[in-house]
Amino acid sequence: MGLENGRDFHETRQIFQKASPTRAFEDIVKQIEDAIISGELKAHDRIPSERELQHIFGVGRASVREAIRVLESAGMVEVRTGAVSGGIFVKPLTTAMTVEALQRLFLLEKISERELVEFRQAVEGITGYWAAKRATNEDIKRIQDIVDKTEPGDIKWDEFHAADVEFHLAVADAAKNRINLIVMQAVRQTMIRVMRITFKNLMSRRKARDAIIEEHQVILETIKNRNAEKARELMFSHITNFYKGILDESSIVK
């Protein structure tokens, strides 16, 4: 499958050079990553075999295997078995992969709740501003449909939570900035993992959910009216108000 859609390893081997002797596997990972990101290696291209990579990079088998393991774990390559169709192939890069990589980074760095909240306040404020400036009629209808789904008073926690996430990502999508959308997805998923039980306890309360629904509707109306500064202010307040119910006051930027 890979051979008909991508280049053979004989064509890709010339991209690389000898690896640095210090922590050689990291240098191998970087060279292959750079080649994929720059487009020198494209989706479905076949990378040289482990033995060929040993020769190309001038390293031992262990360094090559560790590098391939890291790249495979990161979703950048896949290793297929088989005498004819087997080998190491470049995987198509997706937004989901980028989001997952950012999530892992946030968790590995042990990013605090305070840092996540501050980031959301700043970024979602400007996201509201951009959305009011750039949202299409289709964007506004999508946000309206999401808000409408949360109207029933007996909506279940999981359904409400899904709609809440969908609302914020729809506003980010309407802002027409792909970097913002990708980072927002990663931050939202990290917050869910870090604070899931606390979220559930808060949003299971009818009063808290009703307040969120009302604020969503007001933000939507401001985006409809193209009032960018007001949208920024309301989104900042929306995030601030939500976390007041979760975190210590000292963690919230006023």
CATH of the domain at 223: 1.20.120.530
Q: Which of the listed residues 70, 90, 110 is the one where a domain comes to its end? A: 90
Range of the domain at 71: 2-90
**What is the reported pLDDT for 2?**
42
Closest-CA residue to 199 (of 161, 150, 240): 161
Model pLDDT, residue 27: 92
| Low-confidence stretches of the chain (pLDDT beneath 70) | 1-14, 20-22, 152-154, 192-205, 245-254
φ, ψ of residue 96 to 5 degrees: the values are -60, -40
Half-sphere exposure of 242 (CA within 13 A, CB side): 25
82 and 120 fall within a common domain: no
What CATH number has the domain bearing residue 45?
1.10.10.10
Region at 48 (left for phi over 0; alpha for psi -120 to 50; beta for the rest): beta
The number of folded domains in the chain is 2
pLDDT at 69: 93
What pLDDT, on a 0 to 100 scale, did the predictor assign at position 105?
Answer: 78
| Boundary residue ending a domain (42, 58, 90) | 90
pLDDT at 194: 63
Domain co-membership, 158 together with 216 = yes
Query: Tens of pLDDT along 144-154?
Result: 999 998 876 66
Same domain? For 86 and 110 the reply is no
Same domain, 179 and 70: no
Radius of gyration of the chain (CA): 23
pLDDT tens, 70-109? 999 888 899 998 877 889 999 987 777 777 777 777 877 7
Check whether residue 193 and residue 124 sit in a common domain: yes
86 and 9 share one domain: yes
- Which amino acid, residue 105? L
What pLDDT score does 50 carry? 93
Looking at 43, 59, 90, the residue that finishes a domain is 90
Same-domain pairing of 117 and 214: yes
Can you tell me the distance from the alpha carbon of 92 to that of 76, in angstroms, rounded to the nearest whole number? Answer: 7
Can you give the pTM of this predicted structure?
0.66
